[in-house]
Amino acid sequence: MPASLSHKPYRVGRSRTGLGLFATKPIKKGTKIIRYFGPLLDSKKKDEDAIENKYLFELTNRWTIDGSIRENVARYINHACRPNAESDVKPRKRKVFIRAIKDIEPGDEINYDYGTDYFKAYLKPIGCKCDACEKKRKKKRAEARAERLRLKEKAERKAKREAEKVAEKRARQRKAGAKKVAKANGKLGNGKTLNGKHLNGHNLTAAAGKRATPSKRGAARVLQA
Ligand SMILES: [Zn+2]
């Protein structure tokens, strides 16, 4: 870094999106950090109104700063949706300063919000890479992962339940099959049991006798008479 720049509280460095401006000293909230400057373009002049680049800073309907010149170090400052600095616009003076809106620590990247128009035109199509948006994306990815895991575990639990049901059904069928076999064996192999029942006349008589007893009907007839 050249000696003439060393008193400045920032330096240009590598950032997530390419180059960025980083604090080299603590910068207190409210401090003017750097001026955003360049030739003033007059929208009333056709050739000036036709200039198009990513570093245009609109001051008023008429005046725009063309910040694309090399000397404008502030052009390295990247956009952030939750920035630590802001652009302080003085339309009458036709000047813009970047001012800290938070205490900034050495090593922190300096950011300001470029505004809705820039965001829509340049950042939304490629996806904003600022910390806040990266964090949001990370959170969304983590949530999607958790949801996939939840669904997978649910499916596994369901499959396990189904498998258990099938196993239980088979076990029941096996038991029933074994009983049938045992019964069949009993009928074929143990005639005495079968005959014993048939020969038990008492049981049959008792059942028939019960059914034939006209106790209630008899009582009704008595009342009618
Ligand atoms: Zn963002």
Whole-structure pTM value? 0.66
User: Distance, CA 114 to ligand 1 centroid (Å)?
Assistant: 10
Does residue 186 surpass a pLDDT of 80?
no
**pLDDT per position as a tens digit, 92-133:** 999 999 999 999 999 999 999 999 988 998 899 999 999 999
Q: Which is more confident, 39 or 185?
A: 39
CA separation for the pair 156, 225 (Å, rounded): 76
Residues in the chain: 225
CA 175–ligand 1 middle distance (angstroms): 66
So what's the pLDDT on residue 179? 82
Q: Looking at residue 28, what is its pLDDT?
A: 98
Would you tell me how many other CB atoms lie within 10 Å of the CB of residue 212? 7
Query: Per-residue pLDDT tens for 44-59?
Result: 999 999 999 989 999 9
**DSSP label of 77:** P
Q: Where are the alpha helices (DSSP H) in 93-130?
A: 116-118
How many CA atoms lie less than 13 Å away from 211 in the CB half-sphere?
6
Strand partners, 14: 19
Distance (Å) from CA 33 to ligand 1 centroid = 21
CA–centroid distance, residue 133 to ligand 1 (Å): 4
